[in-house]
Chains A and B, each alone.
Chain A
Amino acid sequence: MSWEVGHEFAPVSFDVRRFDLVRYAGASGDFNPIHWNDRVATSVGLPGVIAHGMYTLALAGSAVTTWADGADAVLSLGARFTKPVVVPDDDAGTTVTVAGTVKSVEDGVATIDLTVTNADQNVLGMSKATVRC
Chain B
Amino acid sequence: MAPPLDPSLNGRTFDPTPPYAVNREKILEFTTAIGSPLLDDGRTAPLTFPIVVAFGAMTQLMTDPSVGIELQNVVHGDQRFEYSRPVRAGDVLTGTLTVSSLRAAAGMDMLGTRTEITTTDGDPVATAYATLVHRAPAESIEGEAGA
Contacts and interface: CB of A to CB of B under 8 A. Distances in A.
A55 interface: yes
A86 B124 CA distance: 36
Interface stretch (B5-13, B27-35, B101-109, B115-123): B27-35
Interface string A34-59: 10000000001110001111111111
Contacts of A52: 147
Give the interface residue-count category, chain B: 35 or more
A54 B51 contact: yes
A15 interface: yes
Interface string A80-112: 111111000000000000000000000000000
A58 B146 contact: no
B29 A58 contact: no
A119 interface: no
A71 interface: yes
Contacts, number: 135
Contacts of B46: 58, 61-62, 65, 71
B35 A74 contact: no
B35 A82 contact: no
Contacts of B76: 53-54, 81
A6 B123 CA distance: 36
Interface in B36-57: 36-37, 39-40, 44-48, 51-52, 55-56
Q: Which of B52, B78, B129, B145 has the most CB of A within 10 A?
A: B78
A71 B44 contact: yes
Contact of A44 (B34, B37, B52, B141): B141
A110 B82 CA distance: 14
B108 to A, nearest CB: 15
B142 A54 contact: no
Interface string A7-51: 000000011100010011011111000100000000011100011
B37 A74 contact: no
Interface of B: 26, 29-30, 32-37, 39-40, 44-48, 51-52, 55-56, 75-83, 85-86, 129, 137, 140-142, 144-147
Please give me the 5 A-B residue pairs with the lowest Cβ-Cβ distance, nearest first: A53-B147, A78-B80, A61-B47, A84-B146, A62-B36
Interface of A: 14-16, 20, 23-24, 26-30, 34, 44-46, 50-59, 61-62, 64-66, 70-72, 74-85, 123, 126
